[in-house]
Amino acid sequence: MHLAGQLVGLQSLEPFHSLGLCFLNWLAHAGFVMALLDPGDSASLIPAGPDIIFNNLKQTSPSVIYASAYLLEVWSEDPNKRDFLKSTVVITAGRVLNKSCAKKLLDSNVQLTSGYGSTESGSISIISSLGAQDWDYFCPCLPEVKFVQRDDGLYSMTVVSTPSRKLPVCNTMYNGKPGYDLGDLFREHAVKKGYFSVVGRSGDQIMLSTGEMVDPTVIESMLCQMPQVDNAMMIGNGRPSVGIIIQVAHGPDIEQRKIIWDHIWQLIKAAYQGNTTLTKLSTEMVDMSAPERCCE
């Protein structure tokens, strides 16, 4: 994707974050125009709210925007916001975007694509898109990026430190050379080799007694979007199956809790529909914990 001459909406950018520094460098190198919130307006102070950021995007009408997963998950609930977003290319990076949110955006013809990088390694992907269904795949642009396949078919990534691209922090070795293991797990595209998507953090994965690896983030993040849910945690490491503990918000009586339970189970069933990568949950393994049982 060529950015020269493009107006790029970066109203959601956090200048203290390494991603903000990357965009400042790219501005001069690629020749694009950066749209920002007015620093003289106190309402624009970080962190600016989703509505303030979105209204400024409408005022500037950029052809490309960067938006975090959080912002997209908020905006995707509003049909009018989805309608505006389809007039631009949306780049997201950082936390993995919720799949149900991505589906809403794609169903509204929003052009969605992903970037990838880290503070320790900088940006390591080019801005590209393989099409709507492959929005979450990226292509590494650096020869220093090395993927190592695991026994479960997933990949870990190490960025090697070289004399021409010396990393500030190294935590591993790759073929006798220092490098940085980003701690994420990746899946390679089934057809288009060299393109990868983030599965989750390696430390977040649950290994069942069967040897199957389970990524809990899909279900956990989906449930945590519910206003009635304070937190959700999947369990089952070393067990034959997974379970999930859901902490509901304070206040609901028994009847309301039954309604919340029904809603939660419908969401879980919807998440599993057509998704063969998720390990099935049974109703007996979903525990809705009362607030009074939870520690402060």
More confident residue, 232 or 110: 110
Q: What are phi and psi of 161, to 5 degrees?
A: -85, 125
Whole domain around residue 74: which residue ranges?
A: 1-114
Instruction: Tell whether 199 is covered by a domain.
Output: no
Q: Is residue 270 part of a domain?
A: yes
Tell me if 29 sits within 8 A of 57, measured CB to CB: no
Residue 94 is part of a domain; what is its CATH number?
3.40.50.2300
pLDDT band at 46; cut points 50, 70, 90: low
CB atoms within 10 A of CB 214: 20
Domain co-membership, 105 together with 213:
no
The number of domains in the chain is 2
Q: What is the mean pLDDT of residues 182-208?
A: 82
Residues 3 and 110 in one domain: yes
Residue 223 is assigned to a structural domain of this protein: yes
Give 12-16's long-range contacts (Cβ < 8 A, gap of 24+). 12/48, 12/53, 12/65, 12/66, 12/67, 12/68, 12/71, 13/66, 14/46, 14/47, 15/46, 16/46
- Look at residues 114, 144, 169 and tell me which one is the last residue of a structural domain: 114
193 found inside a domain? no
For the beta carbon of residue 187, count every other beta carbon within 10 angstroms. 16
The CATH number linked to 260 is 3.30.300
Half-sphere exposure of 68 (CA within 13 A, CB side): 17
Assess whether pLDDT exceeds 80 at residue 273: no
- Which is nearest to 174 in space by CA: 154, 198, 192, 156? 156
**Last residue of a domain, which of 85, 114, 143?**
114
Q: Do residue 210 and residue 101 come from a single domain?
A: no
Show the CA angle centred on residue 169, arms to residues 166 and 171, nearest 5°: 115
Q: What's the pLDDT at 159?
A: 93
58 part of a folded domain: yes
**To which H or E segment does residue 186 belong?**
strand 177-188
Most confidently modeled range among 9-18, 128-137, 150-159, 287-296: 150-159
Tell me: do 109 and 210 sit in the same domain. no
- Please indicate, yes or no, whether residues 215 and 110 belong to a single structural domain of this protein: no
65 within domain boundaries: yes
Residues 82-123 pLDDT 10s: 999 999 999 988 777 877 788 889 999 999 988 888 888 888
Computed over every residue of the chain, the mean pLDDT equals 82
Residue 263 belongs to some domain of the structure: yes
Rounded to two decimals, what is the model's pTM?
A: 0.70
Q: Is 217 a domain residue? A: yes
Q: Is pLDDT above 70 for 49?
A: yes
Domain boundary among 75, 90, 114: 114
- HSE-up (13 A, CA, CB side) for residue 18: 11
264 pLDDT band, cuts 50/70/90, is confident
pLDDT above 70 (res 38): yes
